[in-house]
Structures are given as structure tokens and as C-alpha cells.
């Protein structure tokens, strides 16, 4: 199988763009990635496009707006893991030797589709009767508190860290740092989660250009970053009531990725993880086995996950700070890792990092409808 | 790259199933395909699921209903080519050597979502103001008539042929043969297209199990059919007004597939093509270069495309006769070719055929939003 490299990245600012179309956002991200790679629109041989709510043929419309048409384009959906699934599919095709230069795009325009929070999917009967995402994650937070002595302030520290990182990211939705006290003083959305601990409604697009090792040696890009692992797994049918604080899906996906990469949790030097809520960052990081179960929130409070800490997490600001345009999220996570590994992350730069991991998880919180999880690992 | 084989096929009856869920339909098709292959649920390593309107994580719900969970599942959407795109992605992963046994599923439940015809996509501004599918295809029919002397009776003969074939297919939506006179006596939907010349609203699911050549030699199935080509292309940005009767997209896709297979139009012995309207079968067949431009409708009237004809087309009944549950359509086409090549098509059997082609085309009728086209070629 062929090696896979990222040679170009581009994204729009994340935030509210009600005056723009999803295709317009997509085009900006694509043209930015091409510019970054030093490639032209005609160089793209195939594309995978992740989104959830943008209707039929989003990819064809988005690429068309960038002046790219005629090639094989596949739209993919895996809830909040849609963008990272696009990367997984693009990488699979490069490994097959089917193409040498491909595009993975994620895009979502939510602000014109939902007033306030996203409505649950019509197939999601539990959510229809009240078990919405904030309530699910609030229960997980309560359980984490009960089981490990986690405090609301520790969870607030996760949100504060991510909002601070976002304040250093010119493309983030939120530009203002928020202290732990300010998080705690915020409105409760679902106890113990306050407003700043819940991901916002966002619009945006993000694109990466991936090439085969063979093509890379022709292009000779010195800024290429290797995608050493790309794994996708789905939720499992469960019997009985599992421990809500344990992310079996995240671990099964990470295990596959670690194996592909020939690396383990100890090798990971920074991570972008799916912090749709403050508690989610904790259960993801623990699910990835980057910290023992129950330990992460206390470590954040001690500064270990900050930009200068032992293991920086969500350097970009994460979903809480950078924003969460569903389809674009997984691609933007990989972009942050690429920028960090290139040494181009400016005020957010983690010095000397050589291995970074991006984790996404979409769908319902549990069971077979815990839909999809992806783990991408990148190295210099 | 590895060879790809179909070792199991399964589908629900196509028709109206308002009392069933999409996941339930999916499970029936999956379990049928597993049974046909002599494999178990745990043998499936990864899955791709094509659908358009079934909401988030359809694949995870559908496989879950069949008792399959935990594996990598990717939902794909390419309008009416969604199911065949699932096959294309599954084949790509097998070629990459990523897996040895994978599932491609297509599913759609439309009867409970739309009252009457499908509403245009909200991004489709032209359709919103009246340029719906029947009007687009009616214009193409008029142009074909003007340019080549095609008559309404010739187009009606296409519909009559497909309804007859459907009457021999126990899984088809329509079981009653319809004469050319009966087609002509039907209600005009968009002149010159009558009711029987327009694909119905349908529910259904279809699944195929694909394996690598390596796995096939372990399994030793004598009924395996080789997928020698799987191509996907998208619509092109167009300048000026192209000839509406010429399917550039179909030809570009077919050309790629013929090249992969090392075959040409003369080698094709039967075809399932995307006859969403009677005229569509003509422009597809001509776009595939199976007949010279303008000649197909007259040849159908002379019986050349019938089950005993020179080149049988839509032996299954096609979209017009078998039904058109969008996501399931492309998978069901491949299933018909597989059954024919195995010699298991019973009353519809085309004797001695060794090469069959399946063609899907989805999205708007023209340009970049002509979204997606797939061509799969299978051989004994």
C-alpha cells in the first residue's frame, strides 16, 4: 500500500456566515488548500466531501464553485465525523493506487438552517423525547464526578483552556479568552454544563489535499506531513448498561490507528479531540489512553493540557472555541495538526512536536447509533 | 491492485412499504446477501451505504438492525447514483487491500417522506421555479424527436418493454405488463412523457457482498462474479448550450470503465441503465455507445432490446418497472447483472451472456449539478 501525505490545507473562518452559501464557503477552503499546496484546480483527480445537512450533491456544488468539475466526487456522511470520514476515504483511495492527488473537504452551513440548537434527527426517538446531546453529556459529566471526584471547576477549566487557545487562532469563532470563573458564572445548559462548555452553532469549510508518496517525490514539497494512520469505526450493539464514562468506540478506533501507525499513546505529543462539551474532551482523551481513566480533568486544572503543557489538547481552540460546523470539524482538526507539525501555528505553536493525533466522534452517545469515530495520526 | 468479486446478493421487494422502517428493509437485504454468500454477520469487515433521504447514520442503523456493528461504516450520497457509489467505494477499499470482505448497501424509504413526486432539493433553484425532472426529460425527448425522428410510440415501447420485464421479476414494484397502446393512453406527465414513462416513488433496499481475489480463493465460491470495472464521474461546468440528447457525463464514465475492464461497447452483452424516464434509457444507451446517437428508440420498437433481442436492456424491469428507491437502485442493477451472469435469472434469463454493464446517473440533468454517474462492468 502507498504512503499518504498532506500537502495543502485551507479553511474559512469558522463562525456565523448566514450571508454566504455552503458552496461559496467550500470554494474558499478548496482554493486556499490549492494555493497552500502550490497546485492548480486541474490537478485534483478525485474528491470526498463530508457534510450532514447540506442536501443533495453538496460536493459537486462546492467543487463546482471552485471551478472544479468532471472528476469522481463522493459525498460522505457520518454525523460529526463526516469530514474526517472524507479524509479516511481519500486516504484509502490513495493507498489503493487509484489516484495520486485527491481532495478531502468538509463543509457545513448551520446558521441559516437551525434557529438555536440543532434539532434531533427524526430517526432519533430518544432525543425526540428529551435525551438531547446536552442531557446525554451532562449525565456523563455527573457520572465522571461521582466516580472520580471530578469537580465542575475542573470541567470549566477545559472550556477556559480551549477558549484561550481560540483567542490565538484568527480563524476561530470565539476570539475572547474566558476564565474559569466566567465559565462557572455562565448559564447552565444541562447541569453541570454551562454555556461555555457546549459547542456553538457554526458555519465553515475546511479542505486538505492529500497525495501519494510517489507524487510527493515528484512534487518535492518540503512542507508535506505524513498521514500515518486513518481509522474509522462504528458504535457497537450493547448488552446491559456500560459505564458512561468509558469510550469503548474511541478506544477501538484509536487502537486500529495506533496499530496502523506502529505507535502507541505514549508517542502522541498533541491532540485535537472532539470536545463538543467540556466533559467530552475528558472522556475522549481518556478513551485514547492518553491519561488513565478519571484523571484528565484534574490535570487540565493543573495546566498539563495547555499550549505549554505536557500534552497540549485542542490547540486550535477545539469545537468549544474554534466552532463546530459539523462536516468541516474533522478536516479542520487535521489542518491544525498539519500547521503544528510544519511549525506554522504561530502564537499557538507547540515547540518540537513530531506526532499529532486528531479524533472525531459523531452521532448518538451510545450503542449502535453512536455512529462513527475516526482517528487520524500525522507525523513529520 | 487486487481483483474484486461479488459473492452474495440480496434485496427486498421494491414497492411501497410505509409500514416498515428503512433499517428494517436494510436488514432484510443484508441478511439475504449473507445467506446467498454463505457468510455470517461477523465476516463483514467494512460497509458503505448509499441513500439520499434517510437522515443521519442510516448505515449504522441499517447494519445494526441486521446485528452488525462496530466496524467501519461510511454513508455515501450521490443523488440517484448513491447505491452504485457505495459499490465503487467498497471496490476501491478492496483494491487497496484494506479489507477482504465488505458490504455495499443501498436503501431508501420514500413513501412515508413524500406525498406524490419527490420535492426538489432546496439548493436546486431551477427546479424550485418549475424545471423539475419530468420537464427536463420531456425537453430532452422533444429534442431527440426533432433531431432523429424519434416518435412518442418508440419511447412508449421502451416503457412497455421494461414493464414486461418487471412482470417476470417477483421483486418488482409493477407486476402487470403494459402494451405500447396502454402507455400511449396514459396520462401525460410532461409532454411527450406519459405516466408509464416516469419512474415511480418506491421503497426498498439492496445489498451486495464483495470480496478480494485472495479471499475468493479461500472461500472457493463457484458462483462468484467478477467486478472488472467500477467508475465514478461528476458533471462538468459547461460553456454554452450543449446538445441535450448527448450524455457527455455517461460517456466519460463509461470510457473510464471500459478502460479499466479492457473492454469496449461491442463486448457488452446486456445492460441495466438508469431509465428514470423512457427517453433516459435512450440517451444513456447512446451515451454508453451501445448504439449510434439517435438510433436506440427505433431499435427498441423492433425488439432488439428485449430479453430475446440482440442487446437486452433493463432485464430486471429497470426503474420504470422494478421501481426506483433512489439509494437502492444502483445496487439492485448490479444484482440483476450478477443473477444473469450466474444463470439464476429464471424467466428473465439472457442465455449465454458473459459481460454485463450497470449504469446509474443522479442529480440534475445538466452541468456541474449533473452530479454523479457510475458504470460498473461485471463478467463471469
pLDDT in tens, B26-61: 999 999 999 999 999 999 999 999 999 999 999 999
pLDDT-derived band at A240 (thresholds 50, 70, 90) equals low
Q: Indicate whether this complex's ipTM tops 0.90.
A: yes
Whether A61 and B369 lie within 8 Å, measured CB to CB? yes
Residue of A17, A80, A359, A360 marked active site? A80
> Which residues of chain B lie closer than 8 angstroms to A375, CB-CB?
none
How far is residue A9's CA from residue A30's CA, in Å, rounded to a whole number? 8
CB-CB contact of B91 with B2 (8 Å): no
The reply to whether A324 belongs to the active site is yes
> Which residues of chain B lie closer than 8 angstroms to A106, CB-CB?
none
pLDDT-derived band at A147 (thresholds 50, 70, 90) equals very high
Cβ-proximal residues to A166 (8 Å cutoff; 6+ apart), any chain: A172, A173, A174, A175, A316, A317, A318, A320, A321, A322
> Which residues of chain A lie closer than 8 angstroms to B235, CB-CB?
60, 69-70
* Helix, strand, coil % in chain B, rounded to nearest 5: 40, 20, 40
- Candidate from A57, A98, A235 with C-beta closest to B363: A57
Whether B235 and A60 lie within 8 Å, measured CB to CB? yes
- Candidate from A89, A97, A363 with C-beta closest to B60: A363
pLDDT-derived band at A185 (thresholds 50, 70, 90) equals very high
User: Mean pLDDT across the stretch A123-140?
Assistant: 85
Most B-contacting residue of A74, A76, A112, A254 (CB-CB within 10 A), to test interface: A74
- Candidate from B97, B232, B369 with C-beta closest to A57: B369
Q: Which residue of B has its CA nearest to A99?
A: B92
Residue B257 vs residues A260, B4, B97, B227, B357: alpha-carbon distances, Å: 32, 14, 20, 11, 10
The reply to whether B274 belongs to the active site is no
> Which residues of chain A lie closer than 8 angstroms to B88, CB-CB?
72, 74
Least confident of A58-72, A119-133, B202-216: A119-133
- Report the gap between the CA of A355 and the closest CA in chain B (Å): 23
Q: Which residue of A has its CA nearest to B2?
A: A96
> Which residues of chain B lie closer than 8 angstroms to A74, CB-CB?
76, 78, 85, 88-89, 232
Domains of chain B, start order: 4-114+202-227 (3.40.47.10), 125-199+229-379 (3.40.47.10)
Q: Which residue of B has its CA nearest to A93?
A: B92
pLDDT of residue B127: 78
Least confident of A36-40, A83-87, B128-132: B128-132
pLDDT-derived band at A156 (thresholds 50, 70, 90) equals very high
Residue A168 vs residues A17, A56, A174, A176, B311: alpha-carbon distances, Å: 21, 36, 10, 9, 65
> Which residues of chain B lie closer than 8 angstroms to A73, CB-CB?
78, 232, 234, 371-372
- Candidate from B73, B231, B235 with C-beta closest to A234: B73
Is the pLDDT at A117 greater than 90? The verdict is no
Cβ-proximal residues to A42 (8 Å cutoff; 6+ apart), any chain: none
Whether A77 and B72 lie within 8 Å, measured CB to CB? no
Q: How big is chain B, counted in residues?
A: 380
Q: What is the block-wise mean pLDDT of chain B (380 residues), using blocks of 10 residues?
A: 93 97 97 98 98 95 95 97 98 94 98 83 76 90 97 98 98 98 98 98 98 95 95 85 86 97 98 98 98 98 97 98 98 98 98 96 72 96
How far is residue B152's CA from residue A128's CA, in Å, rounded to a whole number? 50
Residue of A144, A196, A324, A359 marked active site? A324
CB-CB contact of B330 with B87 (8 Å): yes
How does pLDDT run across B112-144, given as a tens digit for each residue?
Answer: 988 877 877 776 777 788 888 899 899 999 999
SS3 B116: coil
- How far apart, in Å, do the first and last CA atoms of chain B sit? 19
Q: Which residue of A has its CA nearest to B363?
A: A57
- Candidate from A74, A79, A92 with C-beta closest to B232: A74
CB-CB contact of B270 with B293 (8 Å): no
Most B-contacting residue of A88, A234, A257 (CB-CB within 10 A), to test interface: A234
> Which residues of chain A lie closer than 8 angstroms to B89, CB-CB?
74, 89
Please count the residue pairs, one from chain A and one from chain B, whose beta carbons lie less than 8 angstroms apart: 176
- Report the gap between the CA of B183 and the closest CA in chain A (Å): 32
Whether B70 and A252 lie within 8 Å, measured CB to CB? yes
- Report the gap between the CA of A250 and the closest CA in chain B (Å): 11
How far is residue A202's CA from residue B29's CA, in Å, rounded to a whole number? 38
Q: Measuring CA to CA, which residue among B255, B250, B230 is closest to residue B379?
A: B230
pLDDT of residue B268: 98
pLDDT of residue B1: 62
How does pLDDT run across A257-283, given as a tens digit for each residue?
Answer: 999 999 999 999 999 999 999 999 999
Q: Which residue of B has its CA nearest to A250?
A: B70
pLDDT of residue B367: 60
Q: Measuring CA to CA, which residue among A130, A245, A134 is closest to residue A194?
A: A134
Name all contacts of B165-168 with Cβ < 8 Å and 24+ positions apart: B165/B307, B165/B314, B165/B315, B165/B316, B165/B317, B165/B318, B165/B321, B165/B348, B166/B316, B166/B317, B166/B318, B166/B320, B166/B321, B166/B322, B167/B317, B167/B321, B168/B307, B168/B317, B168/B346, B168/B347, B168/B348
> Which residues of chain B lie closer than 8 angstroms to A54, CB-CB?
123
Sign of torsion, CA A334 A29 B82 B110? positive
- Report the gap between the CA of A52 and the closest CA in chain B (Å): 7
- Candidate from A77, A121, A124 with C-beta closest to B77: A77
Angle between helix A58-65 and A22-37 (nearest 10): 60
Is the pLDDT at A120 greater than 80? The verdict is no
Amino acid at each position: 500500500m502507498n504512503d499518504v501525505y498532506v500537502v495543502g490545507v485551507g479553511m474559512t473562518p469558522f463562525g456565523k456566515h448566514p450571508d454566504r452559501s455552503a458552496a461559496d464557503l467550500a470554494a474558499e477552503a478548496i482554493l486556499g488548500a490549492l494555493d497552500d499546496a502550490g497546485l492548480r484546480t486541474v490537478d485534483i483527480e478525485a474528491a470526498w466531501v463530508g457534510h450532514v445537512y447540506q442536501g443533495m450533491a453538496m460536493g459537486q456544488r462546492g467543487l463546482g464553485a471552485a471551478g472544479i468539475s468532471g472528476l469522481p466526487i463522493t459525498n460522505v456522511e457520518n454525523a460529526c465525523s463526516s469530514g474526517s470520514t472524507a479524509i479516511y476515504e481519500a486516504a484509502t483511495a490513495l493507498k489503493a493506487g487509484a489516484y495520486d492527488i485527491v481532495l478531502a473537504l468538509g463543509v457545513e452551513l448551520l446558521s441559516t438552517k437551525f434557529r438555536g440548537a440543532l434539532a434531533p434527527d427524526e430517526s432519533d426517538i430518544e432525543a425526540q423525547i428529551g435525551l438531547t446531546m446536552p442531557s446525554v453529556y451532562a449525565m456523563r459529566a455527573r457520572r465522571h464526578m461521582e466516580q472520580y471526584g471530578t469537580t465542575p471547576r475542573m470541567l470549566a477549566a477545559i472550556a477556559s483552556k480551549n477558549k484561550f487557545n481560540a483567542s490565538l487562532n484568527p480563524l476561530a469563532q470565539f476570539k475572547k479568552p474566558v476564565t474559569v470563573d466566567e465559565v462557572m458564572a455562565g448559564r447552565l445548559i444541562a447541569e453541570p454544563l454551562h454555556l461555555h462548555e457546549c459547542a456553538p452553532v457554526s458555519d465553515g469549510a475546511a479542505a486538505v489535499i492529500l497525495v501519494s508518496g510517489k507524487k510527493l517525490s515528484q512534487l518535492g514539497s518540503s512542507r508535506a506531513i505524513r498521514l500515518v494512520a486513518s481509522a474509522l469505526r462504528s458504535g457497537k450493539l450493547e448488552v446491559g448498561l456500560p459505564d458512561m464514562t468509558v469510550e469503548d468506540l474511541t478506544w477501538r478506533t484509536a487502537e486500529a490507528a495506533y496499530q496502523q501507525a506502529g505507535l502507541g499513546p505514549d508517542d502522541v505529543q498533541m491532540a485535537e479531540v472532539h470536545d463538543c462539551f467540556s466533559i467530552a474532551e475528558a472522556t475522549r482523551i481518556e478513551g485514547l489512553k492518553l491519561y488513565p481513566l478519571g484523571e484528565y480533568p484534574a490535570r487540565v486544572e493543573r495546566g498539563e493540557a495547555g499550549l505549554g503543557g505536557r500534552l497540549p489538547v485542542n490547540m486550535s481552540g477545539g469545537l468549544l472555541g474554534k466552532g463546530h460546523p459539523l462536516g468541516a470539524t474533522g478536516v479542520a482538526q487535521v489542518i491544525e495538526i498539519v500547521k503544528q507539525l510544519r511549525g506554522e501555528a504561530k502564537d499557538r505553536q507547540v515547540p518540537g512536536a513530531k506526532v499529532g493525533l486528531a479524533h472525531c466522534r459523531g452521532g448518538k452517545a451510545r450503542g449502535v447509533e453512536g455512529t462513527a469515530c475516526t482517528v487520524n495520526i500525522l507525523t513529520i
